[in-house]
Amino acid sequence: MKKIGLVFVIVVLLAIVTGCTQSSNHVKEDVSIGAQEVKKDLILAIGSEPDAGFDPTTGWGRYGSPLFQSTLLKRDNDLNIVNDLATDYEISEDGLTWTVELRDDVVFTDGEPLTSEDVQYTFETARNRGSVLDLSILEKVEVDGDLTVKFTLAEPRSTFIHSLITTGIVPKHAHGDDYAENPVGSGPFQFVQWDKGQQLIIEKNPNYYDNQPSFEKITFLFLGEDAAFAAAKAGDVDMASIPSAFAQQQVPGMGLEAVQTVDNRGVQFPYVPSGETTEDGYPIGNDVTADPAIRKAINIAVDREALVEGVLEGYGTPAYTSVDGLPWWNSETVIEDGDMEAASTILQEAGWMEGNNGILQKGNLKAEFTLLYPASDVTRQSLAIALADMIKPLGILIQVEGKSWDEIEKRMYSDAVLFGWGSHDPLEMYNLYSSKNAGIDYYNTGYYQNNVVDDYMEQALAATDQREANEFWKKALWDGSTGLSAKGDAPWAWLVNIDHLYVVDEQLDIGKQRIHPHGHGWPVTDNLVEWKWD
């Protein structure tokens, strides 16, 4: 009777455990007497599909973990630079030669060893293909045995280290025309299946040289925001990326994770007066926004906290630069905003007087200009409208227009534009503000120029020590008398940093999330090897 009773109790307990833990139709539990096996798969809906596939030589992995490939260096969750494939690196005194030593225990998922020749091939291929990572500074890559690589730069470039952090290494022997759709790498995960427009399936790489992931299999579903949220409510995914509009809705069995970012939104002003045109014939400059009083008044008058609460439902932070909170940020760039009185004083002292219909005038010039935003972006639309409403009592009329990117490209040199940026690479700051980049692509479309700022940034690029470089970046933002921030020239009015929001299974621990960059790619996957079930 005792034996029968024990069996009965075990059966009942198993039934209770199984019933209590079955939370969604994709959960598969293996239960044994005395212990419950942890679920080994994940289903995620956390971002859009990478249209170009999974080839680092064309840009895959720039905004998140490359998953399948390893990198020479990486950032930890505090954004410190640490080794990955590298065991050490050294920079020559002149900043031109970077020597990297490699681990000797790394193999690709096809069993072939990863050597210096694979690193050489990867960087040469990425440079020649014109990757979104700018490797034009790279003059040559040389190997010295199987485990030493030497990079020679055309000129010193401190931000070259970011290329070592984000460029996944591909196998020279297996990098064919179909590599982007069938990647082979040495990262923590290996490619299984890509159903375009639907899903990506990956598995744990059993030969990975570092800490093994907790999950055997992960499926990424490529769903729009509405569909991803619906899948979360139906219990079909363990995690989903959502917009702030859904943040107040409860999902049974899931909690909300809000991750701080430098995924910022801000207004780039035309910095110079009108009169010139680009090589394509597009007008440059705006007589209203060329006045520093207009730019500074807007920066001081806008209530950034109100934008966070009203537009982002509280899920964001005020933005004062494009690099808030990063190691090269200067905290002295924070200003007291929402101050209409101070903003009005700036305008009056600059000669702006009240004119017809409450719009300020300086001579025959009215204080009005157009602010463009991409029509498909609801958040940017809301920010643009809210900004215009905030600024109108100052006597500045901002006419808000939603346009396609094709239309914006023709007008972005003469009209203000609500852009979004954000990167872990300080080179982006250089691209946005350097006079050398004026009118190049989407960088510095306002034609901003400050020779002192340019000099600080050039010194930051030429530095051979990251801490030294960071000090120059900070001075470019604000050195106490000039800079590219709102305290200085105010070529931008940065508004908010948007939190990245996810609904996550209450039992899923996604670890410590570092400050996310702009939302392209899947930045939340940077620490995917640390995720586990509680």
Q: CATH number for the domain including 462?
A: 3.10.105.10
What is the reported pLDDT for 131? 64
* 74 CB-side CA count, 13 A: 21
114 DSSP assignment: P
Say whether 165 sits in a helix, a strand or coil.
Answer: helix
Q: Are residues 147 and 196 in the same domain?
A: no
What is the reported pLDDT for 29? 41
211 DSSP assignment: P
Q: Are residues 270 and 328 in the same domain?
A: yes
Q: What pLDDT, in 10s, does the model give residues 432-468?
A: 999 999 988 899 999 999 999 999 999 999 999 999 9
Q: Are residues 309 and 162 in the same domain?
A: no
- Scanning the structure block, which residue is given the tokens 């990063």? 326
What is the reported pLDDT for 51? 87
Q: Has residue 370 got a pLDDT over 80?
A: yes
Q: Are residues 413 and 310 in the same domain?
A: yes
Per-residue tokens: 508: 């899923």
Q: Which long-range contacts (CB under 8 A, 24 or more apart) does 187-191 make?
A: 187/65, 187/66, 187/67, 187/68, 187/69, 187/70, 188/67, 188/212, 188/213, 188/528, 188/529, 189/67, 189/68, 189/213, 189/218, 189/528, 190/68, 190/109, 191/54, 191/68, 191/109
Domain containing 405: what range? 264-498
Q: Has residue 1 got a pLDDT over 80?
A: no
Neighbours of 348 (CB within 10 A): 15
End of a domain among 147, 165, 181?
Answer: 181
Q: What pLDDT, in 10s, does the model give residues 117-153?
A: 999 999 999 999 876 677 989 999 999 999 999 999 9
Q: Are residues 307 and 446 in the same domain?
A: yes
Cα 200 from Cα 72, distance rounded (Å): 25
Cα 358 from Cα 380, distance rounded (Å): 26
- φ and ψ of 86, to 5 deg: -75, 145
What is the reported pLDDT for 31? 37
With cut-offs at 50, 70 and 90, classify the pLDDT of residue 283: very high
Cα 35 from Cα 22, distance rounded (Å): 16
Element (H, E) at 191: strand 189-195
In a domain, 51, yes or no: no
Q: Are residues 521 and 389 in the same domain?
A: no
Listed residue (443, 438, 308) closest to 379, CA to CA: 308
Q: Has residue 35 got a pLDDT over 70?
A: no
Are 75 and 517 spatial neighbours (Cβ–Cβ below 8 Å)? no
Per-residue tokens: 70: 């390893």
What is the reported pLDDT for 520? 76
Cα 255 from Cα 239, distance rounded (Å): 9
Q: Has residue 28 got a pLDDT over 80?
A: no
Judged on CB neighbours under 10 Å (0-12, 13-18, 19+), 318 is: buried
In a domain, 489, yes or no: yes
In a domain, 132, yes or no: yes
Q: Has residue 23 got a pLDDT over 90?
A: no
What is the reported pLDDT for 231? 97
What is the bridge-based pairing of β-strands 532-533 and 264-268? unpaired
With cut-offs at 50, 70 and 90, classify the pLDDT of residue 37: low
In a domain, 46, yes or no: no
Cα separations (Å) of 466 from 81, 84, 134, 470, 487? 10, 18, 19, 6, 25
Judged on CB neighbours under 10 Å (0-12, 13-18, 19+), 82 is: exposed
Q: What is the mean pLDDT of residues 292-321?
A: 97
Neighbours of 399 (CB within 10 A): 12
CATH number at residue 235: 3.40.190.10
Q: Are residues 340 and 457 in the same domain?
A: yes
In a domain, 45, yes or no: no
In a domain, 42, yes or no: no
Q: Are residues 493 and 523 in the same domain?
A: no
Judged on CB neighbours under 10 Å (0-12, 13-18, 19+), 176 is: exposed
Q: What pLDDT, in 10s, does the model give residues 479-499?
A: 999 999 999 999 999 999 999
With cut-offs at 50, 70 and 90, classify the pLDDT of residue 8: very low
Q: What is the mean pLDDT of residues 260-272?
A: 97
In a domain, 452, yes or no: yes
Q: Has residue 342 got a pLDDT over 60?
A: yes
Q: Are residues 300 and 201 in the same domain?
A: no
Q: Has residue 207 got a pLDDT over 80?
A: yes
Q: Are residues 217 and 97 in the same domain?
A: no
Q: Are residues 231 and 328 in the same domain?
A: no
With cut-offs at 50, 70 and 90, classify the pLDDT of residue 374: very high
Cα 208 from Cα 472, distance rounded (Å): 38
39 DSSP assignment: P
Q: What percentage of the chain exceeds 90 in pLDDT?
A: 86
User: Total structural domains in the chain?
Assistant: 4
What is the reported pLDDT for 448? 98
Q: Are residues 197 and 332 in the same domain?
A: no
Name the more confident of 8 and 194. 194
